[in-house]
Structure 1
């Protein structure tokens, strides 16, 4: 048996941390009097990197975005990128991660983490093997985990960078299953992404718990019927990414639930494991 957990926006609030970091980088840029609109430059650079490296884990490297940002900035304010600009690229990356980790340092002090999520994660990790399965670079995820999750939490981290493929590709989930050595029918995944986490895992016979909101209200757990799953796919215009096997509900004896929040999802996952042990 194995518990697969998505990391970003499932057990840690990455989107808010990202926005906080970028907004503060914009302030750093303004304080240096560099001109231009940092947020606009960054968005242009980010879109170019993502388009160039579509489906490749490197598309998430902030350093690539900052390098391109400075190249664009240098081309309009001087005679192109120069050796001395390298220190500014590295400065920008350093400021980004400083703000990013600063956000996590404050966020993790909140009661819902200290008294609810963290104790539950630690307890589960002592009962069942936990695998953090994530579309990100290894360095970024190591920094997030070190700066946010409790020291006693036991897990195996699997990033798309080390696999070479992103969720929901066949290659990613095949690698995960080889790593666990478990029967997929005895595994369950929790994640916020319908396509990357739930459908990606389900296409390999892994049951899933969809968590649209990390801290949503209530404690409901609703099982989704085949018709409901199809409806969600249609509403979201869900299309398989490269190498993503189609979800065949008849091929795998799997189930999909939707949880109100991460606590209800994790609590249900524990019950699911205990039931299968009987």
Structure 2
């Protein structure tokens, strides 16, 4: 028996933390007078990084975005970014001293992101509802955090948000070399868990990466569209996949259901 848990937007609020961090980074960029419009530069750089590194864990590294943004700014009088500029090497204006600005922006991004998580983790809704259940479950069952991200980034998130008493094994796509929903990722996870897929269940917010990815490998799954949604019922989703799929209104409700399902499998 094993419980597989997605991390971002399933156990911790990554989306609002990300939005907060980007808003604050825009202020940092302006205060440091790095040039151009931060949001247009960032969105264009982010799109290029995602396309260039599709399926690779590095496509989530903000450092790559900030480096590309600085490349473009240094090669444009206005700092405006267009398709020709973002697609070029754009190295003529970048200098050694500019490296400090790129690294500083990455540091500021992580500072804002983790500050949001630390503040959020202190809220009663986590301290009394989510965290005690995670700790209790981790004492009864092997828990695996399965995530499409770089190891360093996820270590920072977990250490800033989840309680110390929570016991788990962390598996990132960077370590595996493949992202969810690939066969390679889920085969690796099942190998590390040393469990039959029919005796495991996965909880996640992403329908394709988490739910269908797990189900194609015979792993039951629960879709959680909203960490703190309203309602108390877990509903069965019609599916032609090898394993059952349910949808839950919240992470806590899904955890309760998953615990009961797993212990019933033991009987």
For 2:256, the equivalent position in structure 1 comes to 267
Equivalence for 1:154: 167
Which region of structure 1 is more displaced relative to structure 2, 194-203 or 71-80?
Answer: 71-80
Task: Find the counterpart in structure 1 of residue 61 from structure 2.
Answer: 61
State the shift of 1:34 in Å.
2.9
Q: Which digits, 9 at most, give the CA deviation of each residue in 1:226-254, with x for residues without a partner?
A: 3xxxxxxxxxxxxxxxxxxxxx53xx3x2
Aligned to 1:240: none
1:45 equivalent in structure 2 = 45
SS in 2 for 1:83: coil
Distance 1:93 1:272 in 2: 42
SS at structure 1 position matched to 2:144:
strand
The answer to whether 1:71 aligns with 2:60 is: no
Q: CA deviation at 1:183?
A: 0.5
Name stretches of at least 5 consecutive residues in structure 1 with no aligned partner. 227-247
| Aligned residue in 2 for 1:223 | 236
TM-score in terms of structure 1 length: 0.89
Distance 1:268 1:10 in 2: 15
RMSD: 1.1
CA distance in 2: counterparts of 1:35 and 1:67, whole angstroms: 13
**How do 1:168-179 and structure 2 match up within 5 A?**
168-179=181-192
Distance 2:33 2:212 in 1: 47
Corresponding residue SS for 1:268: helix
| C-alpha distance in 1 between matches for 2:97 and 2:34 | 15
Gaps of 5+ in 2: 80-91
Deviation by residue 1:160-194 (Cα, 9 ceiling, x = unmatched): 01111100001000110111110000000000000
For 1:205, what is the secondary structure of its paired residue? coil
| Aligned residue number for residue 123 of structure 2 | 110
1:116-127 matches, within 5 Å, as 116-127=129-140
Report 1:225-244 matches (<5 A).
Answer: 225-226=238-239
Match of 1:234 in 2: none
Q: How many Å apart are 1:217 and its aligned residue?
A: 0.5
